[in-house]
Amino acid sequence: METESERSISESEVSQYLSDFTSESLKLIKSSQVKDAYKVLKSCEELLEAVASQGGCIDPDMILLTLHNCAYCCQKLQNYEECASYLDGCAYNASVRNILASKDESQSEPSHYTEKIRKERYQCKLQTQICAIMSHVNKHDLALNHAKEALKFGISFMQNCSKACQYYTVKNTKLPNYIRQKRNNDQSSGKTIQQQHDAYLGDLVKKNSHIFEFLLQKINGKSNSRATSAKVPKLDLRSILGVQHYNDWIYKYEISDVLTIDPITPTDVKTPLGLIGELNRDLMLEKICLIAVVCYCMATELRFLYQTDKSELKRTESNVWYFKAYEIIKDLIPSESPLYQHIKQSYQFYMNKEQKLQNKTQDSSFTSRGKSPLKDKSIEQIYSRSSSASKYKKKIPITKRDITPARTKTPIFARLDSKNEQIGKGYKQADFGYEFQTDRNQKPKAKLSQGEHSKSDNSIKYKKKVNKKHLNLEDFVTGELINKKNSDESYDSDYIRDNFVLSSQELYGENPDDSANNARNLKKFESIKSNLQKKHISPLYQIFNEDLKKESPNNAVSNKQ
């Protein structure tokens, strides 16, 4: 004997059971009894699975309605994994052919477009809601994939809307003139319901065709066709809303209204809207908001992925999609709308952040533009050197080599320095510590200071300012010991060299053993010595050797003039 649960039912009874389950679940949903509604919908789902396993015929619209309302209940109960699986089932069943289409919609071309528009708009919203759920459970890779699917369906239904508008426009413009004139005459006499319908549809097509072109250009940068790819006229809110109604739903529309699942009824599934329904004011605003939210979801998921892998490409793409979402709503959605404020604030936040990053990059690139040995050093390293590094180093006197006896015995007279400064009638040589004053008509006389002495009355008087610690031969051999007269009485250099200078070759000869040469050179040396004494000039080596003797305080003469 069969029990009550195992009793077989007919196909007609299955439809009645499904209808009863659906009605009861919608009543419970309306009264906010979500758990009870979910139990009823689960019973409806089990019945559908049993009929499908036995090969029974099932209404596809009933499958879609049951799965969709189950997803709504799971979202309300915060069972997001089950909610995502139910939405995936809805997306699969919606893609099956002839779902969401009546039997009469495949007969004409406009109905074919409206069928596609309706199906793709529903799938676009489904994929957007799945994206939000995947993002909520931190599965951002899957969320981005669903956002891309939503964008694909969004572009497709906008293209179909544009094609439907073009089809209607071309169809009316190709009418013969006499038919158009007859229609105008009939309209002037009295409009029928069909004529009013056509006139209203014509106004909707004329007003909304540019909106779809505008949306397509904002998303992918190109329009749908060449015929309408010309410059899109500037759109404003009045072209969408007509006369603004401040109590309208658009002024309270939020992003959660797109991402939150709403329950559907059998009427929503089975009743076709037609081209007028797809182009009316409410559905046009809903399409605009849906496309803007899809772009926003793309930007948000890319931003989440950028925070994970720090990919500059994802960051750039995210900023682009934020910009596109803002460009869509800024002219077509009222600024008082919460959706408008949400997208605008997100766009401004990330754009300001991007601008600060660019300014920081430009500043760093400007400072490191030139190659400098200091660019790898910090400011602290540059200024951390000791203060002694900037002081002058102490000068250390250079020790001269000892003078050979041969050089000390050779009388050497230096040339006049061309850089001496002329003071009065004489010359001053302060670099080497001595001074000379000459007069044209008298012999040179030297000023003597304390600590100095005169060798003899016939010898030259000189004034020394030599530091004894650094006394060497070069202080004397490079000095000027020959009195310079004026330009008329100056000595001839050749005469001085021949009569007063004895070279080393003449003194020693090419061969030191050559006694004849040595005798001849010694004779010349005596001659030069006598010439110097006649000129009252002592040989240089005699002055130098006697000056090196220790001077006693009794020998110091002070004869300062």
Cα–Cα distances in Å, from 9 out to 6, 50, 282, 544?
9, 11, 44, 146
Give CA angle at 321 (318, 252), nearest 5°.
120
- Tens digit of pLDDT for each residue in 260-290? 999 999 988 887 788 888 888 888 999 999 9
Q: pLDDT at position 371, please?
A: 47
Question: Which residue spans within 409-484 are E strands per DSSP?
Answer: 421-423, 426-429, 434-436
Q: pLDDT at position 499, please?
A: 62
Give a yes or no: residue 390 inside a domain: no
Q: With bands split at pLDDT 50, 70 and 90, how would you rate the model's confidence at 404?
A: low
Domain hosting 78: range is 8-100
Give a yes or no: residue 374 inside a domain: no
In the numeric block, the tokens 């007919």 are attached to 10
Residues 6+ apart with CB under 8 A from 149: 127
Q: pLDDT at position 35, please?
A: 93
CATH of the domain at 56: 1.20.58
Say if residue 208 is in the same domain as residue 171. yes
Who has greater pLDDT, 530 or 297?
Answer: 297
Q: pLDDT at position 248, please?
A: 78
For residue 198, pLDDT over 50 is answered with yes
Supply the DSSP symbol for 415.
P
Cα–Cα distances in Å, from 329 out to 283, 288, 295?
15, 7, 11
Say if residue 420 is in the same domain as residue 494. yes
Q: Environment class of residue 161 by beta-carbon count within 10 Å: exposed (0-12), middle (13-18) or buried (19+)?
A: buried
Who has greater pLDDT, 345 or 237?
Answer: 345
Give a yes or no: residue 371 inside a domain: no
Say if residue 207 is in the same domain as residue 317. yes
Say if residue 247 is in the same domain as residue 305. yes
Considering the chain, what percentage of its residues have pLDDT values greater than 90? 28
Shortest CA distance to 412 belongs to which of 473, 463, 459, 494?
473
Give a yes or no: residue 332 inside a domain: yes
Q: Environment class of residue 176 by beta-carbon count within 10 Å: exposed (0-12), middle (13-18) or buried (19+)?
A: exposed
For residue 1, pLDDT over 50 is answered with no
Question: 435 forms bridges with which residues in the sheet?
Answer: 428
Shortest CA distance to 309 belongs to which of 468, 436, 140, 489?
140
- Number of structural domains the chain divides into: 3
Q: pLDDT at position 171, please?
A: 72
**Least confident range of 118-127, 200-209, 300-309, 433-442:** 433-442
For residue 301, pLDDT over 60 is answered with yes
Q: Which tokens hold the place of 197?
A: 């319908």
Q: pLDDT at position 176, please?
A: 57
Residues 6+ apart with CB under 8 A from 136: 80
Say if residue 123 is in the same domain as residue 90. no
Q: Rounded to an integer, what distance in angstroms lies between the CA atom of residue 539 and that of residue 471?
A: 19
> Quick check: helix, strand or coil at residue 284?
helix
Question: Which residue spans within 389-532 are E strands per DSSP?
Answer: 421-423, 426-429, 434-436
Q: pLDDT at position 373, please?
A: 46
Say if residue 429 is in the same domain as residue 322. no
Q: pLDDT at position 210, please?
A: 85
Shortest CA distance to 125 belongs to which of 321, 296, 294, 299?
294
Say if residue 135 is in the same domain as residue 233. yes
Say if residue 484 is in the same domain as residue 459. yes
- What's the mean per-residue pLDDT of the chain? 70
Give a yes or no: residue 389 inside a domain: no
Say if residue 241 is in the same domain as residue 346. yes
**Least confident range of 259-273, 277-291, 379-393, 433-447:** 433-447
Supply the DSSP symbol for 438.
-
Residues 6+ apart with CB under 8 A from 316: none
Q: With bands split at pLDDT 50, 70 and 90, how would you rate the model's confidence at 396?
A: low
Q: pLDDT at position 192, please?
A: 67
Say if residue 72 is in the same domain as residue 124. no
One-letter amino acid identity for 292? A
Give a yes or no: residue 220 inside a domain: yes
Say if residue 49 is in the same domain as residue 125. no
Q: Which of 100, 126, 156 represents a domain boundary (last residue)?
A: 100
In the numeric block, the tokens 């070279």 are attached to 503
- Tens digit of pLDDT for each residue in 11-70? 778 888 888 999 999 999 999 999 999 999 999 999 998 888 887 788 888 999 999 999
For residue 74, pLDDT over 70 is answered with yes
Say if residue 170 is in the same domain as residue 316. yes
**Least confident range of 166-170, 336-340, 365-369:** 365-369
Q: Rounded to an integer, what distance in angstroms lies between the CA atom of residue 382 and that of residue 50?
A: 83
Give a yes or no: residue 399 inside a domain: no
Q: Are 253 and 338 in contact (CB under 8 A)?
A: yes
**Least confident range of 168-172, 226-230, 321-325, 513-517:** 226-230
In the numeric block, the tokens 């505008």 are attached to 214
Measured over the CA atoms of residue 306, residue 311, residue 312 and residue 318, the dihedral's sign is: negative
Q: With bands split at pLDDT 50, 70 and 90, how would you rate the model's confidence at 401?
A: low
For residue 89, pLDDT over 70 is answered with yes
Measured over the CA atoms of residue 401, residue 405, residue 410 and residue 411, the dihedral's sign is: positive
Give a yes or no: residue 391 inside a domain: no
- Tens digit of pLDDT for each residue in 326-345? 999 988 888 899 999 999 99
Q: With bands split at pLDDT 50, 70 and 90, how would you rate the model's confidence at 441?
A: very low
Q: pLDDT at position 219, please?
A: 87
Q: Which tokens hold the place of 86?
A: 């139910």
